[in-house]
Structures are given as C-alpha cells and as structure tokens.
Structure 1
Amino acid sequence: MFSLEMFLEPSADSQIRALWQELTTKSIVTLPEVWARPHITLAICSTLDGIDHKALGAVCEDMPQNIKISTYGQFLGAPGVLQLGLTPTRELMALHGAVHDVLDSTNSACDPLYVPDVWIPHCTISMGMKAEDLGTLRTTLQNLKPIAGRITEIAWVDNRAGRELSVASPF
C-alpha cells in the first residue's frame, strides 16, 4: 500500500507534534505510534505500477503553498479516527484533482475515499481513539487554535516498509 502525502513546514509540523504529545500524556493513542510524520494524504494506491510518475511529479511541483487547519472531528463509520480538517481552498482542491487526473489515467487501484468529490482534506491525529476518550479529547481540543502552515514536500510513502519515495521517480 502506497500513500501520496503532503508534508508541512517545521512550525505547523511542530504544532501537530505538540498536540500528539499532549494527547499521548492523556493515554490517547496518536498517529506517531503508526507513522511518525504529520501529513495530509492525497491518494492511497495498492501499487505504483503503471503510474506516469513524470506527469505526477510535474503536477506535484505546483503544490499549494499555504494551508489552514481549521476544524477537528471524527469520521463517521470509522470509529477511533480523529482528524484535523483543512480549509478546502481552490488551490488545494485543484492540486488534488490534478493528482487524480494522472492516477485515473494510469491506475485504477486507488482507495475510493480519496478521489475527488469524496476526499475530505485532513491530517489524522489518532487511529485508536476509544469512546471513553471523547471527554478528554473535547477538553483538549476545544481551545485548539487554527494552524496555518505551508506544504513543503509531497512524497509517496511505502506504508509496508515505512519509507518515503520520490513522486517523480519512486523506484
């Protein structure tokens, strides 16, 4: 399984890591226990075979510069997943659409939750939240301020091996 992920500049990255740390001290399972870098996933594909990596690399060079994390929530039907929601700017949605234009033309093995008109731009905070954590989460998150930042990098992540790969030349 491979995910195409956007990574944040150090200030926004640090703010999310601080939130992870605060939640961990309250015994809430956070994402670093699964993956160690805050990110926004653009696509998840079962294989990278057949993808026009040069075209995808060119699309990703025109990544959005600024993002704003402005909400938090839980996905319905996905118990235990807590996320910080991004403001869906035209620039962000255009990049996402362009990424999927390339993927759709060469690879049909992508997760349907990440396709245009379905995708909810977000940064996952926890994948192990329990019902009894809700009170603690609400208390912790109710004073969270919006996080503004910049996207500095887009890369494929090989989720089985836990390593990042170049978008334009992953092999």
Structure 2
Amino acid sequence: MSQPTVVGGGGGGGAADAMAEPQGGGGVGGYAVELYFDPALENQVLKAWNVLARRQISTRLIDISARPHLTLLSFPASPSPPDPLRLLSPLRSLSSRVDPLPLSLSSVASFPSPSPSADGDGGGGGVLFLAPTPTAALLGLHAQLCEVLKKEGIEAPEGFRPDSWVPHCAVAEDVPRARMAEAFCILRDLKLPVSGYAMDIGSSSSPLFGRSSPSPSAANPEVLFG
C-alpha cells in the first residue's frame, strides 16, 4: 500500500481507509482524503490498534502501516476515478483557511460485516471505529471539502456526501463477526473520550503524490504545503 500524503501542515493552517493499490494499465486505483491528528491523539488511537492486535482480533491497520485518521472522502477503485492530482488545488485552498480542529473521539461503533455466507463461515469481517463528537466545526470542514471539490467538477462519493457522511476513525478492520462483541468490550476500557486536534488533510494510496521522510507513525507523508 502506498503511504499517506499530507497536503496541509498543522503549523500553517492545515486541518486531515486504507485503500487499494493503484491498478496497472495507466488507471488510478482507489484512494482516500483523510484528516490526520496531532501526535498525542494519534498515539491514543495507536494504543487501541495495539491492544486489539495483542488479542489477535485484528492487525490489518498495523500490517499496512496505516496512520490514524478520519476518512473525509473515499474514492473506490474504478475504470475512471477522479485524478488525485485534481484534488491538490482545492485541498490547498481549503487547508490554507483551516486552523487545527478540536476533536473528541467519544464513542465506539462498527460498520457491519457482510451477511453470513451459505456455507456458514460467518461472512467477511467488519470495521470497528471510534466515532468523534460531530461538532459544527467538523461537519463544516467536511461540507467545505465537498463544496470545493464540486467546484472542480468532482462529486463526493455516495456515503461521503454531507447528508450521509459518518465520521469515523478505524481501529480494526476485518474483525470476525464472532469477536466483534469482545472487541467492543476491550475498547470500553480506553476511558473515552480521548481528545486532541485534527492537524492535516492528506490523501492516501496514490503514488502520484510522491513520498518523503517517515513520520512517527511509520507512514511516509509528503508535505505539499503548510
């Protein structure tokens, strides 16, 4: 997996799902626009990843060297997704106007796994996440993002439009259905809420943005402006 690319710096007015690898044949694979946290909040999320990994519930986010984030938009792989380079100008414009955003991860929730299969194997795994308190500032940032992209002729994907977006910070993917309740119980011990700031906007899983030195979370973001 390609690493996140940061397009807004917390020191200069920035605000921030692991996607599939870009496909061959000249096309662009899936990618996401993500909201990244300050180091203290990021470390709190990493603690959740690590405890779930130690209990052998899920290690996927660690395995792919993901970085804790909220997913603002997610463009699935398709024959003709929006060119990631078209996002740079609107993201730059948005980040230049946004200060660090107070954020409180206050509850545990999940996206359901697929229905059990006919052979009784329980279906695919679900996604467990920490949900932020949906403040006016957070919802406003997302609405602004959708608006600046719309002006560039880029529509937000279904499920990520302002009237349907579910803000979430994934802490485990591919969680077996039989272990979801156990995972919920483990996360209740985190003493939520955990609070901090959203600092940077970035885009993951497109090599078109390039790479630079490693970040503390093992991702390799390129700071394009800040």
More displaced, 24-33 or 114-123?
24-33
Q: Does residue 39 of structure 1 match 2:85?
A: no
Match of 1:69 among 105, 116, 120: 105
Which residue identity does 2:199 align to in structure 1? T
More displaced, 92-101 or 157-166?
157-166
Q: Does residue 128 of structure 1 match 2:174?
A: yes
Deviations 1:124-148 (A, max 9, x none): 1111100221242132122222110
CA separation of 1:14/1:128 partners in 2, compared to 1, >3 Å: closer, same or farther? same
Which residue identity does 2:205 align to in structure 1? D
Q: CA deviation at 1:56?
A: 2.6
The 8 Å contact of residues 66 and 150 in structure 1, kept in 2 or not, is answered as yes
CA separation of 1:131/1:50 partners in 2, compared to 1, >3 Å: closer, same or farther? closer
CA separation of 1:89/1:13 partners in 2, compared to 1, >3 Å: closer, same or farther? same
Structure having the larger proportion of residues in helix: 1
SS at match of 2:90: helix
Q: CA deviation at 1:102?
A: 1.5
CA separation of 1:138/1:106 partners in 2, compared to 1, >3 Å: closer, same or farther? same
Which residue number corresponds to residue 92 of structure 1?
A: 138
The 8 Å contact of residues 50 and 106 in structure 1, kept in 2 or not, is answered as no
* Whole-Å separation in 1 of the counterparts to 2:207 and 2:172: 19
The 8 Å contact of residues 5 and 40 in structure 1, kept in 2 or not, is answered as yes
The 8 Å contact of residues 155 and 167 in structure 1, kept in 2 or not, is answered as no
How many residue pairs end up in the alignment? 168
Q: CA deviation at 1:100?
A: 0.4
CA separation of 1:21/1:93 partners in 2, compared to 1, >3 Å: closer, same or farther? same
Q: CA deviation at 1:109?
A: 5.9
Q: Does residue 48 of structure 1 match 2:78?
A: no
Structure 1 vs Structure 2 CA RMSD: 2.5
Which residue number corresponds to residue 15 of structure 2?
A: none
Which residue identity does 2:41 align to in structure 1? A
Which residue number corresponds to residue 153 of structure 1?
A: 200
SS at match of 1:92: helix
Provide TM-score, normalisation by structure 2: 0.65
Match of 1:81 among 114, 118, 127: 127
Percent of counterpart pairs with the same letter? 25
Structure having the larger proportion of residues in strand: 1
Which residue identity does 2:109 align to in structure 1? G
Provide TM-score, normalisation by structure 1: 0.84
Structure 1, unaligned runs of 5 or more: none
